[in-house]
Amino acid sequence: MTRLSAESISFAYAGDPPVFEKLSFEPQRGEVTVLLGANGAGKTTLLRALAGQLQPKTGKVRLNGQPMKEMSRREVARELALMPQSELRQTPLSVRDVVRLGRSAHRGWWMPLDSVDEQRVDSAIQSMDLQSIACRAVTTLSGGQWQRTILARSLAQDASVLLLDEPTSGLDLKHQYECLQTIRDLARSQELIAVLSLHDLQQTATFADRVALISHGGVLAFGDCQSVLTAELIQKAYGIEVTVIPHPVNGRPMVIPTGIV
Ligand SMILES: Nc1ncnc2c1ncn2[C@@H]1O[C@H](COP(=O)(O)OP(=O)(O)OP(=O)(O)O)[C@@H](O)[C@H]1O
């Protein structure tokens, strides 16, 4: 049974003040947890710490009870996929070949893929609506098509923990919603832990099962949308006055900025 937890972790980049101090956080299986917070609040840093890419100065990140720093990169990659906020396209591989790289955690990058791997690759390509461009070189893609390709690579990894840093940035309206729907469906049907950073509060209210509001070096609030998307907490985290009303269609919190504090 997959578990991921940050236990009282503190982290600072060299020579800088701490990004967060004694932060504890445990996203749940089968749920989409959205990290919200102002620019520079520490969402990317937290995702990278949860993925074992950054080592906290104090405290522990544990994956299935094991301290992550004791695990090899391959052990972590079999369980956990991290989609970065942006990634350079260095070689003109095809879309399909980039998505295939998601299978290397299971096969090793030097081993040929088998039919199960290829099925996973097909399904990830379909989930991100990439069939019609699967043979194109990634260097020729638009920004949104490239974003969907690296998302598909993360899905092909078949990990039980998905950490996605602003997965919808650069996507058009339809693909934003399809992407979030896919992630939510996968989290529910396969009992995955899905943690996403987002800036869009409407998307958050629509798709998040739980929200962690990151501010001032810690988790300011953690709970369902109703309890976190409040005018008071949003103002504290973002420094802007808002009014929160029920959405006229789905009844979820709708955050309307009313002024800069
Ligand atoms: N490689 C780095 N070296 C030094 N400082 C960094 C580095 N990366 C991020 N920071 C700093 O750490 C803090 C948190 O940055 P982080 O990228 O985690 O924030 P974020 O919440 O993801 O922001 P955004 O919403 O703008 O993407 C910021 O003050 C940032 O300037």
- Reported as a single tens digit per residue, the pLDDT across 182-197 is 899 989 998 999 999 9
pLDDT for position 254: 96
Q: How many domains does the chain have?
A: 1
Q: Is the CB of 37 under 6 A from ligand 1?
A: yes
pLDDT at 166: 94
- State the Cα–Cα distance between residues 216 and 253, nearest whole angstrom: 24
Which domain does 32 fall in, by range? Answer: 4-260
pLDDT digits (tens, 9 = 90+) for 203-234: 999 999 999 999 999 999 999 999 999 999 99
From 44, 165, 196, mutation site for ligand 1 pocket: most ligand atoms within 8 A of C-beta = 44
Determine the distance from the C-alpha atom of residue 171 to the mean position of all C-alpha atoms in its chain, rounded to a whole number. Answer: 15
Q: Is the CB of 13 under 6 A from ligand 1?
A: yes
Helix, strand, coil tally for the chain in percent (to 5): 40, 25, 35
Whether 19 lines ligand 1, by a CB cut-off of 6 Å, is: yes
What pTM did the predictor assign?
Answer: 0.93
Residue 9 phi, psi (nearest 5): -90, 145
Q: Please determine, for residue 71, whether its predicted confidence score (pLDDT) is greater than 70.
A: yes
**What CATH number corresponds to the domain at position 155?**
3.40.50.300
Per-residue b or e along 187-204, where b marks 16 or more CB atoms closer than 10 Å to that residue's CB: beeeebbbbbbbebbebb
Contact 56, 49 (CB under 8 A): yes
